[in-house]
Structures are given as C-alpha cells and as structure tokens.
Structure 1
Amino acid sequence: MSTAQPENAGAGTTPGPRILLYSDDVDARAQVRLAVGRRLRRGAPDIEWVEVATAAAVIAQTESGGLDLLILDGEADKVGGLGLARQLKDEIFRCPPTLVLTGRPQDAWLASWSNADAVVSRPLDPVELHGAVAAIVESSAVTR
C-alpha cells in the first residue's frame, strides 16, 4: 500500500488571504464582508476572515502572525481602529498592512497619523473597499 500522492495532488488548493476584521459592531463587520466579497478576484481562493470585537483580540491575533491584512474600524467604541493601527505599527515587528475605516472622508488625515496603509470612509462603497483590499493583499504578496 503506497502513500505516495500524485505529482499534482493539492494543486489548486492555495490558501486564500487571512484578513483580520476588527469592529465592536457585528453589523459593521457583516457590511465589510459583504462589500469585499468571498474572493479578491474570479478564480482566486476564498478569503479567510478572522473576526474580532476587542482590541486585545486584535493584538493577540496580530502577534500570533499569519495575517495578510488588518481591517480596523476607526469608529469602534472604547478602542478605535485609528489608535490601534498606530499602536500595532509601533509595537509589532513586521506588522501586516492595515486598512482603516473612517466615519467620513475628512478623517483621512487621521488615517495618515495612524500609519495605516489605506483608508476607506463611510458610507462604504463596495467597489472602493474591494479595490483597496485587493491592492494591499496583492502588493504585500509580491513583496514576501
């Protein structure tokens, strides 16, 4: 009985990107997942979402590694995503790229202060959000 596998076994099973999604609002997380979609493009593997509702969970997940992108809600109560993005960039070696969601377009300067790699303001435009996520994930995959 041989346990050898055919040469092409496992082909096409490339894992999709792991994206951490932080918001204390379950509806906001659902809106982001719906806007981004299952995949970054046709034929690509499914996105693996890691949903968290607390800053402590964001930090723990980020420190454990294996994430391709952090999407942080700048409007989250208690600990907003903008301050959290700055903290993560300052404290975690090789922090994954971050995308922050702001309450309005005029808050883009806060995203700059937070050292975020991208910003999308509310109301969320699915095309804009999907494009930003795809651009970050695909560019960071090239540099690895």
Structure 2
Amino acid sequence: MSVDAAPATVLVFSQRAEVRAAVRTALGSSPAADVGPLRYVECATGDEVVAAVDVGGIDLCLLDGEAQPTGGMGISRQLKNEIADCPQLVVLIARQADRWLAHWSLADATLAYPIDPLTATEVVAGLLRARAQQRPAVRR
C-alpha cells in the first residue's frame, strides 16, 4: 500500500445485514494499492444515511437499490440534490434493466448484486481516486 494513501470512509447502506456484509467482503480492507485503507460505516435506514452524510467525512456511499422502504436510488438522488460536497455514490442493482433508474438517481456508478469482488474493487478504487483528486492536497 502506498504510504501517502489516506484512509477512505465508505458508507454501506442496506436494511439487510447480509448485503452489507457482502459489500464489505467484496471490497476488503483496501481495494487497490494506491487507495488507502477503508473504514466502513454501516446504515440500515435512509435516515441514517442522510444523517451520516450530513455530518461529513464520508468519501463514498454504496447504496442498495433494492432496500425497503427507502431504496438506494431515491437516497442517491436526494444526496446529489442536497449535499454540496456529495460523496461518490454507487447504487447496487439486482437487474441490468434497472440501470436507467440508477442513471435517474444521479449515481456515479452502479454495481450488480450479487457483487463481483473484481468489478467492485475496480469501480470503488476509481471513484475514490477521483474523489481524492477533487480535494486540495494536504501539506505535511
């Protein structure tokens, strides 16, 4: 791992604990050598997601598009419209046909569920790199 890679905070949202666990397992502790270690924040409700993002410090949100009663696509659209420095957003979709809904949600990316670890780490690492480039460099 790169010494300069800052830790990243990833919020994982689903009302189902097994979905949250599958995401954490697929991503592991670091998705790429140049991306810092991941710190996970888990949320089981839409209100928890909004509250966590409002506090700040979240770099990326993985949102379950199949969550009930509030789905990840609606939360994604809400966050993009309400948060000035919105974290990168990824929506988990169960069907490829739902990609158009994910586009409507303004998500930065989609991942199919069940989650493929190779694809997930590639997508998440790319989004975290993009997020890091948007932020000013921190002097040591």
**What is the TM-score of this pair, normalised by structure 1?**
0.87
1:16 and 2:7 aligned: yes
Name 2:45's counterpart in structure 1.
Answer: 54
Any unmatched runs of 5+ in structure 1?
A: 1-11
**Which residues in structure 2 correspond to 1:73-84 (within 5 Å)?**
73-84=64-75
2:6–2:35 CA contact under 8 A, matched in 1: no
Query: How far, CA to CA, are the matches of 1:86 and 1:99 in structure 2?
Result: 11
Task: Tell me the distance in 2 between the aligned counterparts of 1:15 and 1:128.
Answer: 22
1:94 counterpart = 2:85: yes
The superposition leaves residues 41-92 of structure 1 with CA deviations (integer Å, 9 ceiling, x where unpaired) of: 2375420000110111100000111111011000111000001100111111
Distance 1:127 1:25 in 2: 22
- Taking the aligned partners of 1:108 and 1:64, their CA distance within structure 2 comes to 29
Where does the alignment leave 5 or more consecutive residues of structure 2 unmatched?
Answer: 136-140
Any residues of structure 2 matched to 1:1-144 within 5 Å, and which? 12=3, 15-42=6-33, 45-144=36-135
| Residues in 2 aligned to 1:129 and 1:45: alpha-carbon distance in whole angstroms | 16
Aligned residues of 1:69 and 1:98 also touching (Cα < 8 A): yes
**Secondary structure of the residue that 2:63 maps to in structure 1?**
strand
Q: Percent identity?
A: 40
Give RMSD over aligned pairs.
1.5
Give secondary structure in 1 for the equivalent of 2:69: coil
Q: Is the contact made by 1:81 and 1:100 (CA closer than 8 Å) also made in structure 2? A: yes
Matched AA of 2:62: I
Higher-Rg member (1/2): 1
SS in 1 for 2:33: coil
Deviation at 1:134, TM superposition (A): 0.5
